[in-house]
Amino acid sequence: MIVMKFGGTSVESEEAVARVTSIVKTQVHRRPIVIVSAMGKTTNKLLAAAHEAAAGRRDQALAIVDELRAHHLLHGLALAGPAAAELDRYIRTHFDWLDELVKGLSVVGELSPRSMDAIASVGERLSSLVVSFAFRAAGLDATHVDARRVILTDDRFTQAQPLFEQTYALLKERVRPIAETSVVVMGGFIGATEDGHTTTLGRGGSDFSAAIAAAGVDAEEIQIWTDVDGMLTADPRIMPGGRRVKSISFAEASEMAYFGAKVLHPATILPAFEKNIPVLILNSRRPDVEGTRITALAMPCKNPVKSISCKRQITILNIRSTRMLMAHGFMRRIFEVFDRFETSVDMVSTSEVSVSLTLDNAENLDRIHDDLRQFSEVTLEENQAIVCLVGENIRHTPGIAGRAFQVLSNKNIRMISQGASLLNLGFVIADKDLPDAVSALHKEFFSEVDPAVFA
């Protein structure tokens, strides 16, 4: 049994879903469970509709819903063959319900995380239906399973955490037996609380759903089908032309994902690692490219650095103790504030009297700032970026930091961290300097590459 996950661009249109169908057909003998994201940019649009409605702009919200309805009908029905009328009913029912919800929100003028999840979930609920209809019309034996019946989560709406034990038991009981004989199709990203409220696992969470499903059914492989050839040596949105990394370890991939490689949701690796299930990153537009293989032990590699990850638009907080020296308990008080606002810190560096740290989630910044000011002086630096060299060999190759500093010698480096994990070396620089810095670092570390590991 394998799990195949197809991201938003891989299911965005009739043509894209047709490509997915032919890819899945080549692997039916491996008993795939197919996990899909919402079609194209549907999730963004659903959330935009929710915000418009809550701001009282009812007509704008309904117009977005109309646009989405038209897209799903146009691209979905074309794929459903003789079952088009049935799919038409399903799609319209979902959108009628959305219309009502959006109207309700525009009256109430408020958007709770729970309503946000109810609305955002519609993307995956629909795309999974569309794909299951397309599979059947193409002659595959396919069964749609509502992910909310098997992925149980806590009630932290918009960022829900799976209840692993219960979820794995349900996947074994409800999904595995069907997958023995039929291609199971489920929406990624969504789940439900034990009392049945719809939740989501956080943006980009379909990758995580795929890993959870794979761990639950003891799959032998997880395939993440997306719009790039695999994990690349640099983020293509910042530096096009990076090399494909053929083989990478769970630890390296997880570090890359954590420091901004959007190609993989950072939570994906843990279930795969725990059950030792290899993860492949593949391109649904170029299915013949062999992609990236992520396993416990990567292939030996002559290059110290495997990839350069980056996170844009982060904020540095400089927190200075109001006493002369760093008093006992200062760190604890700082981290209690972040804990209270459930905000994670990416990078930390300390001196005698001050602590600098970076946040990528500025949602609660004002309130965090206020709380920290009770016992410290705080300054903020916005528009910063983290650039991070990742590779298991960094730990036993001398001189990496020196080479990186040399390359960045004309940039103002605000913070440095040689990761506690020993496989990353990170810098914080101004966001405007990022493209130049990545290109220069790439030239330094990837001018010569080990052909066994890089394409």
* Contacts with ligand ADP, residue ranges (CB under 6 A): 7-10, 37, 204, 226-228, 231-232, 235-237, 261-263, 307
The answer to the question of residue 91 lying near ligand ASP (CB under 6 A) is: no
Residue 150 or 305: the one with the smaller Cβ distance to ligand ASP is 150
- Alpha-carbon distance of 133 to 444, in angstroms, equals 49
What is the arrangement of strands in the sheet containing 152-153, beginning at the earlier edge strand? 152-153, 190-193, 198-200
Q: What's the closest the beta carbon of residue 238 comes to ligand ADP, in angstroms?
A: 8
For ligand ASP, the binding residues in 191-230 under the rule CB under 6 A are 203-206
Nearer to ligand ASP, 106 or 121 (CB): 121
Tokens of 157: 């709406």
Burial of 104 (0-12, 13-18, 19+ CB in 10 A): exposed
Cα 150 to Cα 35, 175, 225, 371, distances in angstroms = 13, 8, 22, 40
CA distance 112 to 124: 20
Could you write out the DSSP letters of every residue in 174-199?
IIHHHHTTSEEEEESSEEEETTS-EE
B/e letters for 279-293, b = 16+ CB within 10 Å, e = fewer, are: bbbbbbeeeeeebbb
Range 195-214, binding Mg ion (CB under 5 A): 204
User: Which C-beta is closer to ligand ADP: that of 101 or that of 120?
Assistant: 120
- The pairing of strands 247-249 and 292-295 is parallel
201 or 357: CB nearest ligand ASP? 201
Q: Is 157 in the site for ligand ASP (CB under 6 A)?
A: no
Q: How far is the CB of 57 from ligand ASP (least distance, A)?
A: 22
Q: How many residues bind ligand ASP (CB under 6 A)?
A: 12
Q: In angstroms, rounded to a whole number, what is the distance separating the alpha carbons of residues 47 and 52?
A: 9
Query: Quick one: 157 or 189, whose CB is closer to ligand ASP?
Result: 189
Residue 162 binding result from Mg ion, ligand ASP, ligand ADP, none, given CB thresholds of 5 to 8 Å by partner type: none
Site membership for ligand ASP, residue 262 (CB under 6 A): no
Q: CB 404 → ligand ASP: shortest distance, Å?
A: 32
Q: Please choose which of Mg ion, ligand ASP, ligand ADP, none residue 316 contacts, taking the beta carbon within 5 to 8 angstroms, the exact cut-off set by kind.
A: none
Minimum distance from residue 335 beta carbon to ligand ADP (Å): 29
How buried is 403 (Cβ within 10 angstroms: 0-12 exposed, 13-18 middle, 19+ buried)? Answer: middle
Among 32, 40, 76, 188, which residue sits at the site for ligand ASP (rule: CB under 6 A)?
188
Which residue number is nearest to ligand ADP in terms of Cβ?
Answer: 7
Going by C-alpha positions, the residue among 415, 425, 419 that lies closest to residue 445 is: 425
Min dist CB 7 to ligand ASP, Å, is: 6
* Interface of this chain with ligand ASP, residues 110 to 129, rule: CB under 6 A: 123
Q: In this complex, which beta carbon is closest to ligand ASP, that of residue 43 or of residue 249?
A: 43
> Per DSSP, which regions of 400-450 are E strands?
415-418, 424-430
Q: How far is the CB of 97 from ligand ADP (least distance, A)?
A: 25
- Closest contact distance (angstroms) between CB of 427 and Mg ion is 26
Q: Which residues pair with 355 in a beta bridge?
A: 319, 350
Closest CA to 244 of 287, 298, 286, 289: 289
Burial class (CB in 10 A: 0-12, 13-18, 19+), 151: buried
Q: Return the one option of ligand ASP, ligand ADP, Mg ion, none that residue 62 interacts with (CB less than 5 to 8 A, by type).
A: none
Q: Which residues bind Mg ion (CB under 5 A)?
A: 7, 204
User: Which residues sit at the interface with ligand ASP, rule CB under 6 A?
Assistant: 7-8, 37-38, 43, 123, 188-189, 203-206
